[in-house]
């Protein structure tokens, strides 16, 4: 399936059951050789074979369930957190019972940000691990040279930073850097 996007070339695997698809943007098809496209397809097939989409859905459902459970702890009637906020505000008589829901939402909002950051870090680490695994799959089942060439072209077309700071990568990158991916694919080439 080709998708039109005038901006960036891209490819991804999506779907469940009978609705699975590998999507190649038309800009990717126009800018790459056939061998490179096959290598990109092999990478996306790697995501499928290793069930990365299913894994992501399950983790997202668990994350949502955790967030809703934590929210329920904050908004229940007379929760200790709401009472603590009321006392910090001066403990107005009767006001804390009526407002405990709103105070619970406020407390949850304050604590959600650091929790969301930790979950985001975990999800980015998992995503980078999955990208390396899909690269290895493509490298073992097709010539890793062509995936390297495709990744280089994608990097140029997307104006990727070749040497981002490692701390920035740790916090914000869902994919390994180009140089990390090329190095990983070099190891596979050495095996063959």
Q: Which strands make up the sheet holding 21-25, listed edge to edge?
A: 2-3, 21-25, 11-14
26 labelled catalytic: no
Helix (H, G, I), strand (E, B) or coil at 192: coil
Q: Are 12 and 5 in contact (CB under 8 A)?
A: no
131 labelled catalytic: no
The one catalytic residue among 36, 96, 135, 143 = 135
β-bridge mates for residue 22, sequence order? 13
The one catalytic residue among 44, 96, 131, 143 = 44
Integer angstrom CA distances of residue 162 from 69, 149, 155, 176: 41, 15, 8, 11
Active site residues: 44, 135
């Amino acid at each position: 399936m080709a998708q039109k996007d005038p901006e960036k070339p891209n490819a991804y695997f999506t779907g469940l059951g009978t609705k699975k698809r590998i999507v190649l943007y038309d800009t990717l098809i126009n800018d790459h050789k056939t061998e490179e496209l096959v290598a990109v397809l092999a990478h996306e097939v790697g995501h499928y074979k290793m069930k990365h989409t299913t894994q992501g859905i399950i983790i997202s459902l668990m994350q949502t369930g955790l967030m809703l459970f934590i929210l329920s702890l904050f908004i229940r009637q007379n929760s200790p957190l709401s009472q603590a906020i009321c006392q910090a505000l001066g403990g107005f008589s009767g006001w804390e019972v009526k407002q405990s829901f709103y105070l619970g939402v406020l407390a949850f909002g304050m604590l959600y940000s650091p929790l969301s950051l930790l979950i985001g870090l975990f999800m980015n680490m998992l995503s980078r691990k999955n990208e390396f695994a899909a690269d290895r799959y493509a490298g073992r089942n097709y010539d890793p040279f062509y995936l390297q060439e495709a990744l280089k072209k994608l990097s140029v077309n997307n104006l990727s930073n070749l040497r981002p700071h490692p701390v920035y990568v740790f916090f914000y990158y869902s994919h390994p850097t180009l140089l990390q991916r090329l190095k990983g694919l070099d190891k596979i080439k050495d095996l063959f």
